């Protein structure tokens, strides 16, 4: 399986993972280990001054994971830029997963604010990875202003509905000159495999692993699915057709009986 | 002095942002500070003084997707 290059950083694994929704830090680490993922997303929030929070950062850093802070919670470009600057200080990285969703019910990314924020953040030296609708025009615009990849959604965050946006993902993949990472909605390993088979460069999975009865087993299943899907893509999948085409040669030996 | 810390009044005995973090007994890893709506780089925490008008927000990294 070929490796993936984003902003000069090489990834051997094409499975990116989120750190949210796990029952414990240990369950999260076991799952990430089983997934063989090399990049994890993190969030930022106002510090809880009364309680000590579970330190998940140390084990992730110790493992050498590439950390990708997100701007989750930002409703506008201005808030997202502020969140990205905070994240750069907190995690000492100029990489940011830019996500702006003004509506908490469906968590739909705001494309216009995302484009504005991406432009400003790129000027400030960030490696911007924007989470967006599977909108081929927007993805092209984001590429043109200097985003290092695009992260179109398969379906709403945490919905486990798979690649509801498939036809548009295929257009994005066909047009894109930067890596396409399918994010959000990937509910089963088969969704991840399909994303890879249609030519996505990577997938980002969180909920489906974190809420499984056995997260690390599910993480392993996702690892296998991503590898299988990528290998199938690299091998060249056969064309779909309506008519049958014989796999065995159609000889006339049966006819010889009459 | 009384500062505003994460939207609540806070009585602070020290002088700088670094003093504040030490006083709060929080890990310096994975956190970021904004003073009066501006992000303060880590390297400036020790030289950034606070006063009665200071609006401080401390953020921490947590799990997320």
Q: Any idea where the domains of chain B sit in the sequence? A: 2-60
**Do residues A209 and A31 lie in contact, with contact meaning Cβ atoms separated by under 8 Å?**
yes
What is the Cβ-side half-sphere exposure of residue A179, based on CA atoms within 13 angstroms?
Answer: 24
Domain coverage including residue A173: 4-235
Instruction: Give me the pLDDT at residue A48, please.
Output: 84
SS3 state at A59: helix
CATH assignment, B2-60: 3.10.20.30
CA dist A4 and A8 (Å) reads: 10
Beta-carbon contacts of A113 under 8 Å, excluding residues fewer than 6 positions away, are A76, A77, A80, A100, A102
Q: Which residue of A has its CA nearest to B7?
A: A46
B23 touches chain A (CB under 8 A): no
Tell me, yes or no, whether A242 lies in a domain. no
Q: A50-54, A220-224, A252-256: which has the minimum mean pLDDT?
A: A252-256
Domain annotation covers residue A171: yes
Q: Please give the average per-residue pLDDT across A137-151, as a whole number.
A: 98
* Nearest chain B alpha carbon to A209: B65
Tens of pLDDT along B13-56? 899 999 999 988 877 789 999 999 999 999 999 999 999 989 99
pLDDT tens, A105-119? 999 999 999 999 999
Total of domains in chain A: 1
pLDDT value of residue A258: 62
Is residue A167 situated within a structural domain? yes
Percent of chain A with pLDDT over 70: 97
Contact B64 A46 (CB under 8 A): no
Residues 6+ apart with CB under 8 A from A67: A39, A40, A42, A57, A60, A61, A91, A93, A95
Reading the block at residue A230, the tokens are 């990528």
In CATH, what number is assigned to the domain containing residue A91? 3.20.20.70
**pLDDT tier, A254 (very low <50, low <70, confident <90, very high otherwise):** low
Three-state secondary structure call for residue B43: helix
ipTM of the complex model: 0.90
pLDDT tens readout for residues A59-104:
999 999 999 999 999 999 999 999 999 999 999 999 999 999 999 8
């Amino acid at each position: 399986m070929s490796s993936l290059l984003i902003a000069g950083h090489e990834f051997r694994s094409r499975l990116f993972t989120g750190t949210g929704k796990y029952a414990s830090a240990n369950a999260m680490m076991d799952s990430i280990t089983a997934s063989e993922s090399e990049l994890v997303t993190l969030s930022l929030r106002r510090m809880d001054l009364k309680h000590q929070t579970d330190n998940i950062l140390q084990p992730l850093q110790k493992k050498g994971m590439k950390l990708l802070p997100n701007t989750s919670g930002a409703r506008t470009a201005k808030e997202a830029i502020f969140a990205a600057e905070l994240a750069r200080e907190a995690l000492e990285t100029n990489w940011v997963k830019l996500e702006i969703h003004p509506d908490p019910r469906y968590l739909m990314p705001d494309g216009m604010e995302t484009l504005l924020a991406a432009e400003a953040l790129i000027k400030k030296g960030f490696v911007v990875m924007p989470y967006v609708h599977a909108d081929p025009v927007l993805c092209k615009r984001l590429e043109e202003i200097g985003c290092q990849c695009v992260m179109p959604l398969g379906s709403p965050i945490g919905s486990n509905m798979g690649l509801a946006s498939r036809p548009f993902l295929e257009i994005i993949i066909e047009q894109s000159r930067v890596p396409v990472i399918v994010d959000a909605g990937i509910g089963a390993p088969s969704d991840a495999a399909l994303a890879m088979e249609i030519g996505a460069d990577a997938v980002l999975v969180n909920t489906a692993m974190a809420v499984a009865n056995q997260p690390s087993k599910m993480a392993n299943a996702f690892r296998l699915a991503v590898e299988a899907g990528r290998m199938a893509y690299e091998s060249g999948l056969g064309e779909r057709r309506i008519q049958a085409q014989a796999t065995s040669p159609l000889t006339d030996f049966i006819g010889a009986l009459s | 002095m009384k500062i505003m810390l994460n939207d609540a009044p806070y009585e602070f005995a020290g002088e700088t942002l670094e003093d504040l973090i030490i006083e709060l007994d929080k890990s310096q890893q994975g956190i970021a500070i904004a003073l009066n709506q501006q992000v303060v780089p880590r390297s400036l925490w020790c030289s950034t003084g606070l006063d009665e008008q200071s609006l401080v927000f401390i953020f921490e990294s947590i799990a997320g997707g």
